[in-house]
């Protein structure tokens, strides 16, 4: 055992002479024994001498991948299954006036073509309720079979009473327990909506939201909290109110006669940490299917980052059966962006596959040309546009991986890891772009038609590697 470090430490602390010995003294320094004991523990600790030292077993690596899914009851919504062993489902919501049938049909079709598996529409007045059956009819005529969810607040019981065709046409009802009714009317109006769900064999989502929380429940919990020996902070009381609002309403629905496998719960807030805490608790206290979403997530990158941060943590823990990314669209931006972000989140986490993903380097001083950035965008847009056809004719193409790299540093390596990859020349490199297919270099592209030629290679790969289904 070498005590070089011990000697240096003694000298540095002034407890030893230049030779490292403890100074002669009638009474040992009080720190002497303690320092020696600590140093001996440190110097005799288990350690690896080198990567080739096999004298000690390597520790077991941590588990890789998401946790097992939280066990929930499976709910059928039209032809879509949510919860249980079903994959996490992507849904979206229109922002058209539902009474405007043409505009709503157009937007629903766009969301569906982008990959939304369920679409929610606002049903807030007699005109929108009357429009729902016509919207469903037109979508059916277009060959679009997507479950339409009615979003009700305040007056859903009245609208479904007056428009039974709407109650029949919708695939699911969304009920907000915070505004379904107030005072003595609350229980009656909630019961009416549940009875419609029973009558027409429809599932419901009971969705609590901290922006429209049941104030009577919140007040009751505040009073209870004041009596605690150690009161909770206001945030915890708010979270408990959200959870209780959802759970109490779900249990009431079951008492009325709605089967538990026709109930989905949500409890939405706009804070990332609050959402994670609420859903962890909600999952621990029930086996109802859960809808995830960060309400009022925001505009642009802020909304994408906030939603992704919250939902990724929960889904990594196995929590969540259906998701919506609630983005505020920028002026002129397509509503389909929320669908794309939801799909990319699930695919990036390895939970589902929707469309081939493109790996592309961020660029640096070695890639002063913007061509590799432009090509990455062209490739991603191309595969996304082709995916609806490939999904039908070439199942499995959604799992394909692509790489568009900008220079020789990581380009060939990343390209070999992909099913198809191209390594473009960086600054000062020879004007040649080797292409790798399943790890093997197959061709080198040159000239002005690199983009078109690479796209053609991708199409050829799909045609030959993924078994075609004949119409």
Tokens of 313: 């943590």
Q: Which of 242, 243, 240, 245 is nearest to 224 (CA)?
A: 240
Residue 189 tokens read as 């109006």
Tokens of 24: 């002669």
User: Helices 215-226 and 234-256, interaxial angle, to 10°?
Assistant: 130
Q: Confirm or deny that 407 is annotated as ligand binding.
A: yes
CB 278 within 8 A of CB 312: no
Per DSSP, the residues of 2-50 read: --HHHHHHHHHHTSS-TTSPPPP-SS--TTHHHHHHHHHHHHTS---SS
Q: Specify the pairing of strand 433-437 against strand 420-423.
A: antiparallel
Write down how long the chain is: 471
The residue written with tokens 């939902």 in the block is 311
DSSP alpha helix (H) spans, 99-182: 101-114, 126-141, 156-162, 164-169
Phi, psi of 67, deg, nearest 5: -70, 160
Token readout for 428 is: 């000062």
Beta strands 327-328 and 298-299, pairing class = parallel
Look at residues 131, 57, 56, 148 and name the one whose alpha carbon lies nearest to residue 94: 148
Is residue 85 within 8 A of residue 74, CB to CB? The reply is: yes
Distances from the Cα of 346 to the Cαs of 225, 292, 396, 425, in angstroms? 39, 13, 16, 32
- Known binding residue 364? Answer is yes
Residues forming a β-bridge with 214: none
How far is residue 321's CA from residue 117's CA, in Å, rounded to a whole number?
Answer: 13
Tokens of 455: 């796209």
Enter the tokens of residue 1: 């055992």
Q: Taking the CB of residue 296, how many other CB atoms lie within 10 A of it?
A: 15
CB 252 within 8 A of CB 271: no
Closest alpha carbon to 324 in 174, 190, 211, 202: 174
Q: Is 361 annotated as a binding residue?
A: yes
List CB contacts of 287: < 8 A, sequence separation 6 or more: 71, 72, 73, 260
Establish whether 414 is an annotated binding residue: yes
Token duo for residue 337: 């962006």
Whole-angstrom Cα distance, residue 35 to residue 38? 5
Tokens (6 digits) for 469: 């289904």
Q: Which residues are annotated as a binding site?
A: 361, 364, 407, 414
Q: Which residues are annotated as a binding site for [4Fe-4S] cluster?
A: 361, 364, 407, 414
């Amino acid at each position: 055992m070498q005590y070089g470090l011990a000697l240096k430490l003694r000298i540095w602390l002034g407890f030893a002479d230049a030779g490292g010995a403890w100074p002669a003294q009638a009474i040992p320094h009080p720190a002497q024994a303690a320092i020696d004991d600590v140093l001996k523990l440190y110097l005799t600790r288990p350690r690896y001498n080198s990567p080739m030292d096999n004298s000690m077993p390597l520790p077991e690596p941590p588990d890789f991948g998401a946790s097992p899914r939280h066990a929930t009851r499976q709910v059928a919504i039209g032809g879509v299954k949510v919860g249980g062993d079903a994959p996490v489902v992507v849904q979206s919501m229109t922002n058209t006036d539902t009474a405007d049938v043409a505009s709503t049909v157009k937007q629903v079709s766009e969301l569906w073509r982008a990959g939304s598996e369920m679409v929610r529409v606002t049903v807030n007045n007699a005109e929108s309720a009357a429009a729902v059956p016509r919207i469903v009819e037109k979508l059916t005529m277009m060959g679009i079979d997507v479950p339409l969810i009615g979003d009700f607040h305040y007056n859903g019981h009245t609208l479904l009473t007056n428009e039974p065709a709407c109650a029949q046409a919708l695939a699911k009802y969304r009920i907000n327990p915070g505004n379904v009714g107030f005072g003595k009317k609350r229980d009656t109006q909630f019961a009416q909506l549940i009875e419609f769900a029973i009558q027409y064999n429809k599932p419901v989502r009971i969705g609590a939201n901290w922006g429209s929380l049941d104030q009577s429940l919140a007040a009751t919990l505040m009073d209870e909290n004041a009596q605690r020996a150690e009161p909770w902070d206001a945030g915890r009381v708010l979270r408990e109110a959200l959870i209780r609002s959802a759970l109490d309403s779900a249990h009431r629905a079951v008492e009325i006669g709605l089967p538990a496998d026709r109930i989905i719960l949500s409890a939405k807030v706009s804070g990332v940490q609050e959402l994670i805490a609420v859903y962890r608790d909600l999952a621990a206290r029930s086996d109802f299917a859960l809808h995830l979403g960060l309400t009022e997530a925001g505009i642009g990158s802020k909304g994408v980052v906030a939603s992704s941060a919250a939902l990724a943590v929960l889904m990594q823990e196995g929590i969540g059966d259906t998701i919506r990314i609630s983005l505020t669209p920028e002026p002129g931006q397509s509503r389909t962006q929320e669908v794309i972000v939801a799909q990319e989140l699930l695919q990036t986490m390895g939970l589902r596959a929707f469309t081939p993903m493109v790996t592309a380097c961020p660029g640096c001083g070695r890639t002063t040309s913007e061509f590799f950035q432009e090509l990455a965008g062209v490739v991603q847009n191309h595969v996304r546009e082709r995916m609806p056809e490939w999904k039908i004719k070439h199942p499995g193409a959604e799992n394909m991986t692509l790489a568009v790299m900008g220079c020789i540093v990581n380009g060939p390596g990343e390209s070999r890891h992909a099913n198809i990859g191209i390594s473009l020349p960086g600054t000062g490199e020879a004007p040649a772009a080797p292409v790798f297919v399943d790890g093997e270099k197959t061709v080198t592209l040159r000239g002005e038609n690199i983009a078109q030629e690479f796209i053609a290679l991708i199409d050829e790969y799909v045609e030959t590697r993924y078994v075609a289904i004949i119409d």
